[in-house]
Structure formats: structure tokens, C-alpha cells
Amino acid sequence: MSSIIVKKQHVFPSRSIKRFCAEGGSVEVFRKASGKRFLAKPNNTVFWVNRVWDQSTEKSFGKRIEDEFQSVTEKILQRGCYEIPKDQHRVITRFLALWKYRAALDSEERLVNEASKLTSTVTELNEKNHLDELHVHYVDESGTFPARNIRGFELRGQVMMYERSYDNLNWCLVNSPHRDLIVPDTPEDDLFIPITPSMCLLTGQPVHELSLDQSIDANTRSFIKSKDIIFGRTVAEYA
């Protein structure tokens, strides 16, 4: 059996990026290192990594979390209600954890200690892909476990631990009427998720809208904590 392996793995979902697109279907991106500002569609290479975690973590574990979050987000936006039903809070927390730990994963290969003298068990590409689909670890022809399998295992564990540690978070929908919000490439430790240029999800005491100063502060924090890029409907003031 062969499977369609997803190699282009989004850190922040393409469906979420689309909500920040202008009429032409693109967002503005600012790359901090080069100071370059450019337009990009949600499928642009700047938004994805090349098969950093394994197939099952992408198509099963991660997709389920993304789908639940997108469903909740659509309901919230359609309802336009600032209070979020209790059963949806953990869905949002779980997504924040997924975004946080995806962004934190490195892409360096991690080799198994040579002293372990592992013997190759799988050499055929189709068999590797099938085992990836099943989330089965194997030793390849180099005598190592594929690093993406290890990273996938780590990602699952980190997300589940985060959810258990923060299972009482209360989220609210907050409007940003005075300044468009930008999106960082990592949430780091902030309990803040921009979902449209004018709306975000926040924890804590419910408020209906951010003041101009609060929106500026949110964007400044997003800029500072980003490792590589920020994006939004417009990022001109940060270029």
C-alpha cells in the first residue's frame, strides 16, 4: 500500500492565513532578517516546512486539531458573539499548543548513537511511506530512526502536556477596530491568537475590543517574538 505523503507542512494553517488575505488572495509578509516586504499566497513556501514531522502527526493528529479549531473559529465569526461556549475553550487551547510546538521544532537531523548498532529494517520507499502513515517507527538503511518520526512523537507529547497544564483557560473573542492585527510566526508563551485582521482570541477577563494602544502593543509583541516573518493584510509600518 502506498500513501500520498504530505511534504509541505504548514506551521500556521493555510485556512487561517486566508482570513488575512486581501482581495487578490495574498497577504503581506515581512522578513525580519532581510527587511524585505512581499506579497504571498497561503501556499507560499514561507509558510511551510518540508516534512519536519511524520505523516501521521500531520494527517491525523494535527489535522484533527486544525479541523476542530477551524470549525470553532467559523462558528465564532458567524455568531459574532464575544462569549465562547465552554466546550470550545479546550479546542482553542489545543490549537495554540499545536501552533506553539510546531514553530519550536527544529529541522536538524538527529542521529541514533552509533554504539546502538541498529540494523536496518526498512529500505523500500513505499514501505517507509506506509509505515509513516501508520505512525510506526522503523530503522532505515542508515541505521537510524527518521528524525521526523521522533519530532512527531515529541510534538504529540508536548501538545497533550500543554493541554493538561492549561485545561482551565477561558477564551474570549476580542475586536481590534483601531488597527489591523499582524500574525507572528510563533505564539511563544502569549495566550493570543489573531484570527482576522480585526479579531483575535484572548484569555482572561472578557473585553469586547482592544484600544488603539492595546492593538499597537499586540502587534509590537508579535513583531518582537517572531523568529523570521510576520504577516497580515498590511505590514508596511514594520518594513
Q: What is the pLDDT along the chain (239 residues), one digit of tens a residue?
A: 445 788 899 999 999 999 999 999 999 999 999 999 999 999 999 999 998 999 889 999 999 999 999 999 999 999 877 789 999 999 999 999 999 999 998 655 544 444 444 455 665 777 767 776 666 766 767 677 778 888 998 999 999 999 999 999 999 999 999 999 999 999 999 999 999 999 999 998 778 999 999 999 999 999 999 999 999 999 988 86
Q: What is the pLDDT of residue 122?
A: 62
Q: What is the pLDDT of residue 113?
A: 44
Contact between 77 and 196 under an 8 Å Cβ cutoff? The reply is yes
Distances (CA, A) of 182 to 30, 76, 87, 136: 10, 20, 28, 38
Q: What is the pLDDT of residue 68?
A: 98
Tell the burial category of 45 from Cβ atoms under 10 Å away from its Cβ (0-12, 13-18, 19+).
exposed
Q: What is the pLDDT of residue 135?
A: 63
Q: What is the pLDDT of residue 183?
A: 99
Task: Write down the pTM of the prediction.
Answer: 0.88
Say which residue the cell 514553530 belongs to.
103
Q: What is the pLDDT of residue 5?
A: 81
Phi, psi (5° rounding) for residue 25?
85, 15
Say which residue the cell 469586547 belongs to.
208
Q: Which three cell numbers stand for residue 203?
A: 484569555
**Which residues does 211 contact at the CB level (< 8 Å), separation at least 6?**
178
What amino acid occupies position 32? K
Tell me the C-alpha distance between 225 and 229, whole Å. 10
Distances (CA, A) of 210 to 17, 75, 77, 98, 188: 21, 21, 17, 26, 21
Q: Which three cell numbers stand for residue 133?
A: 502513515
Strand order in the sheet with 183-184: 36-40, 27-31, 229-232, 183-184
The candidate with the shortest Cα–Cα distance to 228, out of 195, 196, 183, 192, is 183
Distances (CA, A) of 155 to 106, 149, 161, 162, 191: 11, 10, 10, 11, 19
